[in-house]
Chains A and B, each alone.
Chain A
Amino acid sequence: MMDVADAPTPLELRLTAVPPSVTEAREAVARYAADAGADPADVELAIAEAVANAVLHAFPGEETGTVTLRATLTADALVVQVTDNGTGMRPNPEGGGLGLGLALIGRLTASFSVTEPVNGGTTLRMSFPLDATETTDA
């Protein structure tokens, strides 16, 4: 189990809700995850799904907005919050896709939650386990 005192600085990103931000976000958080001892492949895919969800569904029509990410470490988990300032969780028949994003996130995370803050937008909070063998001192 990792000593929280040795945890790296939290990662914070503030991105425009456009498709290239999906790539920027997943690569940055995957690197952070690898350093922290979480599975970078699982994290990378989950972050891609989360940010793509915001890009595709949070801002209907021609609007766009902001997606912020914050990755932090607890003693045994990597926790990533993805927050957008969009319209909140609602069906978007024009969004396209197969509707697989949240299902994949459910399979890739130890736990996740979706909330709508009172000031609007959506927050997706995901928890990924840390590899105990990576964090055990020799």
Chain B
Amino acid sequence: MPDPNPAQLRSETERESVDGAVIATVAFDGDLDLPVVDAFRAAASPEGVGDADGVILDLTGVRFIDSSGIHALVTAWKALGASGRPAKIVIGSESNVERVLEMTGLLEEIGPARDRAAAADAIAGRG
């Protein structure tokens, strides 16, 4: 059976304590398009992330994203927030992800952070 996630999108989750709060960071690397959205959803879901007081979705390693990836990203971001895990998205400046978010009119709504430190501050209410 073909690999449903043929190494086009890799994810890695780390946890750290920030001012007593557990922040889970899920970092993605590769391309986020239709064939891998299920893998993305699994990694970025409340169940995939596990217990955490806040979540950082780090997309600085994502080279390509299309509207199916954007849909999965927005859905995951909202689901995490609804589950009591406020989430902040990190994207690279002038990246393809930023470009597509801007083109779809979602950049302002998502309000991404430029790096993990800024994202952690935002989750903690310091940003």
Q: A45-B66, A52-B66, A97-B68 are in contact. Are A19 and B74 (CB under 8 A)?
A: no
- Contacting chain B: which of A60-68, A78-86, A98-106, A129-137? A98-106
Instruction: Select one of B31, B34, B64, B104 contacting A104, CB under 8 A.
Output: B104
B78 CB–A CB distance under 8 Å: no
Q: A26-B33, A52-B34, A101-B67 are in contact. Are A45 and B6 (CB under 8 A)?
A: no
Q: A49-B66, A98-B67, A98-B70 are in contact. Are A23 and B31 (CB under 8 A)?
A: yes
B interface, size bucket: 10 to 19
Instruction: Select one of B6, B34, B74, B96 contacting A22, CB under 8 A.
Output: B34
A interface, size bucket: 20 to 34
A98 contacts B71, C-beta separation under 8 Å: yes
Q: In the assembly, what is the distance between CA of A48 and CA of B100, in Å?
A: 13
B67 contacts A52, C-beta separation under 8 Å: yes
Residues of B participating in the A interface, judged by any CB pair closer than 8 Å: 2, 6, 8, 31, 33-35, 64, 66-68, 70-71, 74, 96, 99-100, 103-104
